[in-house]
Amino acid sequence: MTDKQHITIKGVKEGLVFILDDRCEFSALLDELHYKLEKTHQQLLTGPLMHVNVKLGSRETTDEEKEQIKSVLRQQGNLLIQSIQSDAELQSQTEANQQELKVMTGIIRSGQVITHDGSLLLLGDLHPGGSIICTGDIYVMGTLAGMAHAGSEGRTDVIIAASLLKPTQLRIAEVISRPPEEWLTGDAAMEYAFLQEGAMQVDKTTQLFRMRREPLVYKGV
Amino acid sequence: MGDAIVVTSGKGGVGKTTTSANVGTALALLGKKVCMVDTDIGLRNLDVVMGLENRIVYDLVDVAEGRCRLQQALVKDKRFEELYMLPAAQTKDKHDVTPEQVRDIVLELKKEFDYVIIDCPAGIEQGFRNAVAGADHAIVVTTPENAAVRDADRVIGLLEQSQITAKLIINRIRPAMLKTGDMLEIDEVCQVLAIDLLGIVPDDEKVIKSANAGEPTVMDPSSRAAIAYRNIARRILGDMVPLMPLDEKSAGMFKRFRKFLGIG
């Protein structure tokens, strides 16, 4: 056994929390886990059913490695694994869900190009000949008359929304669409473009929640 | 210290030189000391429009390269005491001067003149950068067509990057076409470009006629374009002048007569 402790076991109201060090070899972790469960903490870990939460710190683990941790814990009979969490995962999850939204003000005129890694909110107009290229969503509070490319690095779940959607061209991921040949709607006000089965669709922004399926929280009476 | 105003458009043939000549002359008409600078090196024609071609001795490139003093290159107008022109070279091209050289020349001129009107070449390359270098303000000229408006938009973007405030002149408006809806509306152009409107100039055959004669249109008060340019000059001086009504001509003699009698 190494002299340094890699695993800290804490008792909390809900059960036990295993905090695994994120800067050592994964095999060392498994060894120590075995050792602790079988030798040093045996008396603690026998008895009534216990809920267990495992925290991996910022270690990035594969599903296989998680399964290894689970199987070691399962040998102990009275431990119920509730979760195995890693900060790295949490972070990448939130990044994917809500990539940093950049807010910018101004008029993007012909010949001007705005590129952004993430989502962009433009307070102003995008003129014909101007372009916005983003890896995430594009929202324009104003007239979108130029070229907008959302999901420029391949994301297909992104949208392009504008107060007035009158683009010369829209692109989402690899799909290129030209109005009015491919779609044409009424007044072009408060609309958004999205991909559905690989084809560009445009709908009223009020319909966006159906696509996003985000939990709605209503407060007040 | 005077004010340097660059007249630009992006697209060619929309009336930059005509606007420069007429706005410059109109300002002189209002008693200002004005110098017009032609930066269209290699394709100069401000001198032709002004009818000063045969008086040119030195040009902008000569001044930039130190072959003469600035004063020597200035051509005095034949109509006004306080109107001068700095012609462009015809045998060189845009790369023969740098933006820094033009800026120095314009700075020098600003010390002496109330207004320095810089006529910019078409395009957004070296010639444009030269013309814009010394300018405090810009007049963007466009015609009510999509292609010209698109180029104007591009140029406004570039001017904004150089922190130059731009105002718009919509040139060659045909009231008859506006009425039938075949031409872009003035409001539409302003809305698209999102800058202040300095004036509108109706299409007028007299402009071509007088340009050929080397006589700026503003000199002829019977021309509607001349009135428009005079209004623009007054707005540059800070006067509040309403936009001229475009359909006056079609009102006809009879209606004007009734108006004169006070019953129209």
Q: How far is B192 from chain A (nearest CA, A)?
A: 8
HEC letters along B216-263: CHHHCCCCHHHHHHHHHHHHHCCCCCCCCCCCCHHHHHHHHHHHHHCC
In a domain, A117, yes or no: yes
Q: Let me know whether A104 and A200 are in one domain.
A: yes
CATH code, A186 = 2.160.20.70
A68 and A108 in a common domain: no
- How large is the ipTM? 0.74
Q: Is residue A84 part of a domain?
A: yes
Number of domains, chain A:
2
pLDDT of amino acid B260: 66
**Considering the domain boundaries, does residue A216 fall inside one?**
no
Distance from CA of A108 to the nearest CA of B (A): 8
A129 contacts chain B (CB < 8 A): yes
Clarify whether residues A126 and A44 are in a common domain.
no
On whether both A71 and A135 belong to a single domain, the answer is no
Low-confidence residues of chain A: pLDDT under 50: 1
CB atoms inside a 10 Å sphere around CB B182: 10
Q: Is A191 inside a domain boundary?
A: yes
In the annotated binding site of B for ATP, the residues are 11-18
Residue finishing a domain among A41, A70, A89 = A89
Pick the residue of A107, A109, A112, A166 with the most B CBs within 10 A to test the interface with B by mutation.
A109
CA distance A183 to chain B (A): 23
Question: Is A215 a domain residue?
Answer: no
Domains and CATH numbers, chain B: 3-261 (3.40.50.300)
| A109: chain B residues, CB-CB within 8 Å | 153-154, 156-157, 160
Check B150 against A109: CB less than 8 A apart. no
Residue A1 belongs to a domain: no
CA A159 to chain centre: 15
Whether the bond between A167 and the residue before it is cis, its omega within 30 degrees of 0, is no
Residue A95: predicted pLDDT:
55
Count of A-B CB contacts under 8 Å: 25
Residue B256 pLDDT: 61
Q: pTM of the prediction?
A: 0.72
> Residue B82 has what pLDDT?
94
Residue percentage of chain A with pLDDT more than 90: 36
If asked whether residues A72 and A103 sit together in one domain, one would say no
Tokens standing for residue B215: 């006589």
Same domain, A114 and A204: yes
Mean pLDDT of each 10-residue bin along chain B, 264 residues long: 95 95 96 96 93 93 95 94 95 92 96 96 95 96 94 95 95 91 90 93 93 92 94 95 75 62 61
Residue A110 belongs to some domain of the structure: yes
Please check whether residues A63 and A160 belong to one and the same domain. no
Containing domain of residue A44, as a range?
A: 7-89
Residue that terminates a domain, selected from A22, A54, A89: A89
**pLDDT score at A1:** 47
- Check whether residue A130 and residue A51 sit in a common domain: no
Indicate whether A175 belongs to any domain: yes
